[in-house]
Amino acid sequence: MKINIPESSQERVVIVGGGFAGLSVARQLAKSNYQVVLLDKNNHHQFQPLFYQVAMAGLEPSSIAFPFRKLFRRHKNVFFRVTEVQTIEPENKRVITKLGECNYDHLIIAIGADTNYYGNEEVAQNALPMKSVGEALYLRNTILSDYEKALSVTGYDERQGYVDIVIVGGGPTGVELAGALAEMKKYILPKDYPELDTAEMDIHLIQGAPQLLAGMSDDSSNKALAYLQEMGVQVKLDTRVNRYDGEFAYLSDGDKIRSNKVIWAAGITGNHIPGLPEESITYGRRLAVDRFNRVQGAENIYALGDIAYMEEEAFPKGHPQVAQVAIQQGQTLADNLKRSLKQQDWKQFSYNDKGSMATVGRNRAVVDLPSFSFQGFPAWAVWLLVHLFAILGTKNKVFVFLNWVWNYLTYDQSLRLIIRAKGKRE
Ligand SMILES: Cc1cc2nc3c(=O)[nH]c(=O)nc-3n(C[C@H](O)[C@H](O)[C@H](O)COP(=O)(O)OP(=O)(O)OC[C@H]3O[C@@H](n4cnc5c(N)ncnc54)[C@H](O)[C@@H]3O)c2cc1C
């Protein structure tokens, strides 16, 4: 069965994945002479950097997601389908999806990455990931439900299981989550749960490397550690979680922590669609590409963003898996595809690193620019502005801004509702 998309005289570019990379290329090509087919298993783009605020009940999911149909409704050459691509058939120049097959002239793979449990089945089974809006919401429900359950538990040890939280991974996600939980514990839980003793609630951050925010400057790493410690987070460096059975997390230093919630933010691995040459799959299950984002050993197939592994002089071990790389690669590839239509030569991709940042909490953030670093309130203000401008949609920007102002003034977050989806069909 064929996916129902009209054939046209234009060359067809099929983009799999509408994250930062896929969306960046699709938006550029929407104004071109290509037919663009965007396939994503969700009907919306997700703004991953703010997942942790959804998990902490600080933002509603609708504020950080944007429907693809709304983005492209004015572009007649763009077709969108909600479907999962299951196989790629380079020899037939088509992809097989849950809706049927779809032929292409150019195929762009922008499927991003998923949580990496490093082969530990027990951890994969019991820990909580945060790689989609759905998972962030599940995390929110679990945290709030556990506080509710803790109210009826009389035994100290059992109650610890409900109120203590372990976060594994001291990258930006782990640090931001730990900071947000510490603020929730300080400002919100005493008001919402006066019967619970917040002194009993421990937030543990376990980091395998000797410092937090490993990709950032020493100043930023050290400051983030100091901030978290000030806020009461128990940070362990140079320590791994080897096992988690749903009740206890077993650490590499021999310690064990009782907690019903281990949040796993310790790494990512490339999503996989079968069909590409084996030699193209490389470190972190990413797809090896050249400086034009062409997948090694394949013709007219490109990979972008988190799933792409490209080496350049300044990045001999590949680019960091961050939004800016994905966006810039999308722009360069779109530009190159447009150059093809004008019989012009392609330009190599080169990453323009604008810096990195992480927030720990109110007035506490760290920013590394290419030439200098800064922390504290100015860094926090910059973090807020950069994220506000990056969110898609004016309504979303306004909602997020108002939410943040409200939270800042009232020391409170939006309503902490436990809402579980229920229905008869998937
Ligand atoms: C919690 C969290 C916080 C982060 N914070 C930051 C930050 O502060 N700053 C920063 O720069 N980066 C941050 N990142 C990283 C950043 O979000 C990624 O680098 C970026 O999203 C990569 O973009 P991408 O387009 O390659 O992939 P993604 O954005 O992951 O998009 C992949 C898309 O592909 C779709 N898809 C996957 N498989 C299929 C399939 N088989 N068929 C159809 N569709 C498919 C998915 O539905 C998704 O829409 C964060 C990531 C996470 C998880």
Ordered DSSP codes for 243-296: EE-SSEEEETTS-EEE-SEEEE-S-EEE---TTS-GGGEEGGGEEEB-TT-BBT
Per-residue model confidence as pLDDT tens digits over 227-256: 999 999 999 999 999 999 999 999 999 999
Q: Is the pLDDT of residue 415 over 70?
A: no
Atom of ligand 1 lying closest to residue 387 CA: 8
Q: Does residue 389 fall inside a structural domain?
A: no
Token digits for 260? Answer: 């019903």
Token digits for 132? Answer: 């989609």
Per-residue model confidence as pLDDT tens digits over 47-62: 999 999 999 888 888 8
For the ranges 128-137, 341-350, 360-369, 413-422, the lowest mean pLDDT is seen at 413-422
Contacts of 350 (CB under 8 A, 6+ apart): 291, 312
List the end-to-end C-alpha distance of the chain, in Å, as a whole number: 22
Same domain? 42 vs 90: yes
Count of domains observed in the chain: 2
Q: Could you say which of 218, 238, 266 is where a domain stops?
A: 266
Per-residue model confidence as pLDDT tens digits over 6-29: 999 999 999 999 999 999 999 999
Atom of ligand 1 lying closest to residue 97 CA: 42
C-alpha 262 to ligand 1 mean position (Å): 22
Same domain? 256 vs 142: yes
Strand partners, 128: 263
Per-residue model confidence as pLDDT tens digits over 305-329: 999 999 999 999 999 999 999 999 9
The residue range of the domain holding 136 is: 121-266
Strand partners, 368: 356, 373
C-alpha 19 to ligand 1 mean position (Å): 5
Mutate which of 3, 43, 322 for ligand 1? The one with the most ligand atoms within 8 Å of its CB, which is: 322
Atom of ligand 1 lying closest to residue 17 CA: 34
C-alpha 112 to ligand 1 mean position (Å): 5
C-alpha 302 to ligand 1 mean position (Å): 17
Q: Is the pLDDT of residue 374 over 60?
A: yes
Q: Does residue 349 fall inside a structural domain?
A: no
Q: Does residue 415 fall inside a structural domain?
A: no
Q: Does residue 206 fall inside a structural domain?
A: yes
Same domain? 105 vs 219: no
Query: Which residue type does 239 have?
Result: T
CA angle 102, 31, 301 (to 5 degrees): 40
The answer to whether residues 170 and 214 touch, using CB atoms and an 8 Å cutoff, is: yes
Q: Does residue 351 fall inside a structural domain?
A: no
pLDDT of residue 425: 67
pLDDT of residue 406: 86
Residues with CB under 6 A from ligand 1: 16-22, 39-42, 48-49, 51, 84-85, 110-112, 130-131, 172-173, 271, 273, 305-307, 321-324, 326
Contacts of 164 (CB under 8 A, 6+ apart): 201, 202, 203, 204, 257, 258, 259, 261
Same domain? 161 vs 50: no
Backbone angles phi, psi at 348, to 5 degrees: -70, 150
Which pTM does this prediction carry? 0.95
Q: Does residue 209 fall inside a structural domain?
A: yes
Q: DSSP 3-state assignment of 129?
A: coil
CATH of the domain at 224: 3.50.50.100
H/E run at residue 36: strand 35-40
Atom 38 in ligand 1: residue holding the nearest Cα: 111
Token digits for 33? Answer: 């002479």
Q: Cα separation of 88 and 245, whole Å? A: 37
Model confidence at 270, pLDDT cuts 50, 70, 90, reads: very high
Average pLDDT, the chain: 95
pLDDT of residue 148: 94
Q: Cα separation of 92 and 97, whole Å? A: 14
Atom 3 in ligand 1: residue holding the nearest Cα: 49
Q: Is the pLDDT of residue 426 over 70?
A: no
Q: Does residue 53 fall inside a structural domain?
A: yes
